[in-house]
Structure 1
Amino acid sequence: MTNSFWFPIQLSLLVAVVAAILVFIVGICVSRLFVSKRFKGKLVWETVFMLPLVLPPSVVGYLLILFFGTNSIVGQCFEKLLGTTLMFTPWANIIAASVVAFPLMFQSANIGFESISKDVIGAARVDGASELCILIKIMLPMAGKALMTGAILSFTRALGEFGATLMFAGNIPGKTETIPTAIYVAIESGENRLTYLYVLISICTAFILLVITNSFKRYKY
């Protein structure tokens, strides 16, 4: 196997790992806020966070271009800091994967945190526990199954991201090419053997991760 074959696999795994870590941390923080606080516009923000799950990938990719592109304020700030644009770089892969994977983590975290009895959290506050202590020592362990499920599903979703990635990061061999985009190019080029290999790797990886996810549902703390 040549380096050109392994590069999409290595980049896909790297992007999925980084994206899963990012959405895991951000998802927990945002979900913790939404579960514990009541504020105006809460339902609207929850809907916005879930939009990438139902929007066409091309729409997500276009919105990322508008937000992070060279003509946007955010894109220009990053260009000044990094000396290059975010588009068509591995960072674009990570951003696209994180955006489409976030709803799964956010939803799982919400389910996990909402399942915790308010009496337990109230008792901890009465005993003088800080909010950080409550989160780390009570909420995270008690919602652990839901959080791990969300993390695995987010990783799987990030690993298979195609549409938004193709628009925002492109498909540059040796730079931004991932397994999904490599499959697309292989099919277009008529390289059946290469297509079969990438498809087999994708199916096996997704199957294993889903088996692990289902095992969490059966496991009782």
Structure 2
Amino acid sequence: MLGPEELTALLLSLKVATVAVAASLPFGVAVALLLARARLPGLWLVNALVHLPLILPPVVTGYMLLLSFGRKGPVGGLLYDLFGFTFAFRWTGAALAAAVMGFPLMVRAIRLAIEAVDPKLEEAAATLGASRLAIFATVTLPLILPGVIAGGILAFAKAMGEFGATITFVSNIPGQTQTLPSAIYAFLQVPGGESSAARLALVSVVVAMGAVLASELIARRVAARIGGRDG
């Protein structure tokens, strides 16, 4: 059984990961479409920026978020002055950090799904007079839906395990910004906290394994669909 502090960290992590995926998914689909379908100069730079959080140390990403979205940052300062809203040292900041760290995995999964769609199917719909939005909603989206789900699951798993960027951006405040990885770290710093850390580590493993298995099942479904279409 999880104690009150452990349960709070777990519920907060689930909340942060869910919000992170829900908020970033529309942007992930749009960016994946841009990278897969557009033929514009400079797309390599967009692709590099999207994947930058995977390359940079998470602490650096968290520091950049703090500089940008903190109260004295250009974006964070504007949000605070206009709406009295701030990301720094709030659970919403943890969700932002988790979304940024999981975004590359989401975009890559969706992009691969889009590239597997035969453009001739979209072209056929266009010849029938369908608008781009209608083509996407009725042709492209149903075909890439498994990839979208897989990308969302991978981003969710990454969000559940995010530590470096989160603790740098929003600190480790119990009940407010202390997610599962932060709680494990905190328990390991105090005498007698090993059992709590072990329980939370086990929960993390179960969640991560569940996400990987779900993603693998969906990936096989996509492969089967593509194989059936090609055959």
State the TM bucket, normalised to the shorter chain.
over 0.9
- Which deviations, in whole Å up to 9, do the C-alpha atoms of 1:37-87 show, x marking residues without a partner? 222211111111111112110110111111112222211111124425321
Q: Give the match for residue 219 of structure 2.
A: 217
Contact residue 78 and residue 86 of structure 1 kept, 8 A: no
State the Cα distance separating 1:154 from its structure 2 match: 0.5
Whether 1:184 aligns to 2:185 is: yes
Other structure's SS at 1:30 match: helix
Q: Give the match for residue 195 of structure 1.
A: 197
Whether 1:144 aligns to 2:149 is: no
Separation in structure 1 between the aligned mates of residue 155 and residue 82 of structure 2, nearest angstrom: 29
Other structure's SS at 2:113 match: helix
Q: Structure 1 stretch 159-168 or stretch 17-26: which is displaced more?
A: 17-26
Q: Give the match for residue 228 of structure 2.
A: none
- Which deviations, in whole Å up to 9, do the C-alpha atoms of 1:122-166 show, x marking residues without a partner? 111111111111111111111122221111100000111000000
Q: Give the match for residue 7 of structure 2.
A: 6
Other structure's SS at 2:126 match: helix
Other structure's SS at 1:172 match: coil
- Which deviations, in whole Å up to 9, do the C-alpha atoms of 1:97-120 show, x marking residues without a partner? 000000011111111111111111
Separation in structure 2 between the aligned mates of residue 106 and residue 36 of structure 1, nearest angstrom: 13
Other structure's SS at 1:35 match: helix
Other structure's SS at 2:129 match: coil
Q: Give the match for residue 69 of structure 1.
A: 70
User: For residues 175 and 82 of structure 1, do their structure 2 counterparts lie closer, same or farther at Cα, with a shift above 3 Å needed?
Assistant: farther
List alignment gaps of at least 5 residues for structure 1. Answer: none
* Partner amino acid, structure 2, of 1:99: V
List alignment gaps of at least 5 residues for structure 2. Answer: 226-231
Give the RMSD, CA atoms, in angstroms. Answer: 1.3
Q: How many residues align?
A: 221
Runs of 4 or more, structure 1, over 6 Å off, are: none
Contact residue 50 and residue 103 of structure 1 kept, 8 A: yes
Separation in structure 1 between the aligned mates of residue 151 and residue 86 of structure 2, nearest angstrom: 31
Other structure's SS at 1:70 match: coil
Q: Give the match for residue 114 of structure 1.
A: 115
Q: Give the match for residue 125 of structure 1.
A: 126
Q: Give the match for residue 206 of structure 1.
A: 208
TM-score (norm 1): 0.95
Separation in structure 1 between the aligned mates of residue 37 and residue 213 of structure 2, nearest angstrom: 32
Other structure's SS at 2:189 match: helix
* Partner amino acid, structure 1, of 2:11: Q
Contact residue 113 and residue 147 of structure 2 kept, 8 A: yes
